[in-house]
Structures are given as C-alpha cells and as structure tokens.
Amino acid sequence: MQAIISDFKQLTKVGLSLSVVFSSVAGYLLAIDVVNYFILFLLATGGFFMVGASNAFNQIIEKDTDIIMKRTQNRPLPTGRMPVNIALTIAILFTIFGLTILYSINPKTALFGAISIFLYTSVYTPLKAVTPLAVFVGAIPGAIPFMLGWVAATDNFGIEAGLLFMIQFFWQFPHFWAIGWLQDEEYKKAGFNMLPMGQKDKGAVKQIIFYTVIMILVSIAPVLKLSGSFYIHPITAGIITLLGLYMLYFGVKLHKSEKNIDARKLMLSSVLYITVIQIIYVLDKFLH
C-alpha cells in the first residue's frame, strides 16, 4: 500500500502540485476583502487536480526518455511499477475533477485551468525534444496559478491578473535555466535541449541575468499604482528588490564561474524568491 501511495505521489508530483496551490491561494487572497473559505477550498482542490493531471500526462508521454535520465529513471512508469493505462486513467480523472471543480467557481477559472493542462501536455512536453524555445511555452502554464487565484476571486482577467501572470512568467526563465544548467548532460542524453541557444556557456547566463532583471522590475511595478487594485507600498517594493538582487547575485556569480554549485544556489534562491514575494504581497495588502 505504501508503495502504491508513493508511486501515485510521484506520478502526480504532489510537492509541485502543492506549490502551485500555494500560488493560487496567494493570488486569491490578493484579490479579495473577505475570504470565502469554500471558494478557497475549491480553488486549492481544483488547482491540485489540474497540476496532478498535467504531471501524469507528462510522465506518460516521456516514459521512454525518463528511463535515460538518472533523475527520472525511478519513476513509476519507466520502472514498470505502474501500467500506462492506470496512469492514463488517473490523468483523465484528475483533468475531469480539476476542471469541474474550477468551473464551479466560475467558467473563466476553468478555462485557464484547461489552457494550462493543454499547453503543458500537448505543446511544451513534445517541444522539449525539438527546441530550447519549449521553455517559453512551458512558462505560460507555469505562470497561470498565481493569476488563477485572482480570476477565481473576481471572475475577471484584468490588468491585476495580467501582472501576476507576468511576474511568475518571467521568474520561470532563471529558475528553469538554472535547473537546465544543472541537468544539462542528463537532458542531452534524453535528447532535450533546455538551455537558451542550446549551450552551457556565458551566453546562457546572460539570458538568465536579463530575465532576472525584468522579473524584478515587473515584481515592483505595482508600486507605481498603475495596475488597478493591485498595488504595493514603497517599503514592500524595497524588500522585493533586495530579494531580487539576492537572486541576481547568484546569476552574476554563475556568469563568472560557470560552475554547477552557483547554478544550484541560483535555483534555490529563485524558489525562495517566488515563495517569499507571494507572502509579502499578501501581507502588504492586509497590513495597509
């Protein structure tokens, strides 16, 4: 029983799904004045199913390449511990549950959920073997959760939701490319080329630095009060800038050293950044 639960958790990537739920909840809290706990529960559950479905479909499509890479060769499908038809059943059920639950909040939330699953499984996953530009496509479903919460709360995709989307969209590039740097040899064995221009060199790190700078600017943009009802105080913008500079520091270090240890620090600082700024935005909203 323990093995079955463990395989189920690996197939749906429970940890990743929970981080997506965290983003959606943060987006919801930014949009509301009074928390509707029932809607919040639906959003968290629907979002969890949505990401779980995407991950399961992804692993079904990539089961043959997963065998090649150390990081993925012990997953339930490449090892044969789980039959493909069981994984497919889970993926389809998760899609149905997820989209039905999100639809019960409002149709727009379900629409964005559906776009996320479709782009991740039908465009991003197959493109990985074709071009490094797959990362751009993958950044779209990856950026949906934060704004999904806003859309769930307001039934509206306006400038606020668009800005939340952009913050998480630009964040994906330094984050993904840091992982791509660390896993470069493994990815290439499987026929994936995840780094920009396909090279593990200073050119790739220049792109990482460029997108990190854009990410910081977009993250502090709400201080200008041009983004509708989503704005932050100058002190908050200062804290976010410092967090961004911390991440940028590792990008610059990686540019100098081109060493995996700095890529790992960049990747970890990117996870810290996206988690902490979501908390900071929510605190900023409720403290003023």
- Angle, to 10 degrees, between the axis of helix 159-182 and the axis of helix 134-154? 150
Of 13, 263, 18, 26, nearest in space to 167 by CA: 26
pLDDT at 276: 97
pLDDT at 128: 92
pLDDT at 55: 97
Give the chain's residues under pLDDT 70.
Answer: none
pTM of the model: 0.94
Q: Taking the C-alpha atoms of 231, 236, 237 and 241 in order, what is their torsion angle to the nearest 10 degrees? A: -150
pLDDT at 238: 98
pLDDT at 198: 80
3-state secondary structure of 272: helix
pLDDT at 193: 84
pLDDT at 76: 97
Of 195, 197, 192, 178, nearest in space to 68 by CA: 192
pLDDT at 27: 98
- For the chain, how long is the longest CA-to-CA vector? 54
pLDDT at 1: 87
Q: What's the fold here for domain 1-157? A: Tetracycline Repressor; domain 2 (1.10.357)
pLDDT at 41: 98
